[in-house]
Chain A
């Protein structure tokens, strides 16, 4: 992340300098900074609304009921989550909102899910396995119906705005499958590495004892 941040900014400035449009960069910085704050301010309303709703759903037991229904799937994807943990409900809500194409409602639940996962995390500055799996699914996009996109196509005069639903579904299934498999491979690799370390340690301890 540090590298991406550095490269985007310094690389951009260097290229602008070569092209002789440094003024553009200065303007861009100011408008981007303002745009970012505007975006967050715009997010506050939606965040407040849905986190309030989530609390009601949690307190009434609705969230737990919904997670119990799909518990087998969640258990398979997130073996590290204890049964009935509140993170499950948030993950479920986030994925549902994404599936329906409501990105703005998905964000509050996603952020709350991260917060709940962080409580289970032992090393607070490093991503846990559950977080990596959740984000793998989330960033691979699980949209069933891209509503905004269909509306945009209709507005641009498409003869059949929803004709891309099938192709989108195929592509997104491929990417989600790749994400889940890649995440599982990384997880298995880490596990093996950890086990090797533990075995190594034990081995050394035994050797010392024998002496």
Chain B
């Protein structure tokens, strides 16, 4: 019931939102198509400007993942994190999540296949995936698009929030579903 309600809401949200924007615009006598094109022009160049930053970030993450560096990291972190109630399979997610959305989603889906989505690890990975975002990626792209070089405290705050989400996810998953 709840699930079907959510699916319905997400199915209708974008079409309704779009009709609302255009309907209100038309009602207010805005030349909707011309204004749309004018705004859209900006979208193309904003995207193109992101290419160099995207390439740099993707290469760095790709090398880190494929060289086996990530595995070493995971092996170092595992002995500390496993006694705290974090399954070894979920540990790499802590490292990848702030860097790449696609990689962490792939990892979570892999975990669903090996351990099942309703296992403790599956539920924990789901909660982590749902409650955090790709902090490093977002900061790089958003600041790059306007030429900011000094991030000030943005990165620290972002990573602090991620750690808070990890801790909260572990406690609530254990409390709510019971562990193991």
Contact = CB atoms under 8 A, between A and B. Distances in A.
Given A25-B67, A28-B63, A47-B46, A125 B3 contact: no
Interface in A45-72: 47-62
Contacts of B161: 136, 139-140, 175-176, 178-179, 182
Contact of B129 (A107, A146, A175): A146
A82 interface: no
A73 interface: no
Given A36-B51, A62-B24, A125-B150, A136 B3 contact: no
A143 B130 contact: yes
Chain A, interface residues (CB within 8 Å), range: 35 or more
Contacts, number: 358
B59 A32 contact: yes
Chain B, interface residues (CB within 8 Å), range: 35 or more
Interface in B105-150: 105, 108-109, 112-113, 116-118, 122-123, 126-136, 138-143, 145-150
Nearest to B138: A139
Q: Which of B24, B136, B146 counts the most A-chain CB atoms under 10 A from its CB?
A: B146
B43 A44 contact: yes
A145 B10 contact: yes
A149 B130 contact: yes
Given A25-B67, A152-B109, A127 B151 contact: yes
A33 B59 contact: yes
A149 B162 CA distance: 18
8 contacts: A13-B63, A27-B66, A35-B58, A57-B25, A125-B149, A136-B161, A156-B112, A186-B153
Interface of A: 1, 4-5, 8-9, 11-13, 15-16, 19, 21, 24-25, 27-29, 31-33, 35-37, 39-41, 43-44, 47-62, 98, 100-103, 105, 107-108, 110-112, 114-115, 117-118, 124-127, 131-132, 135-136, 138-141, 143, 145-150, 152-154, 156-172, 174-179, 182-183, 186
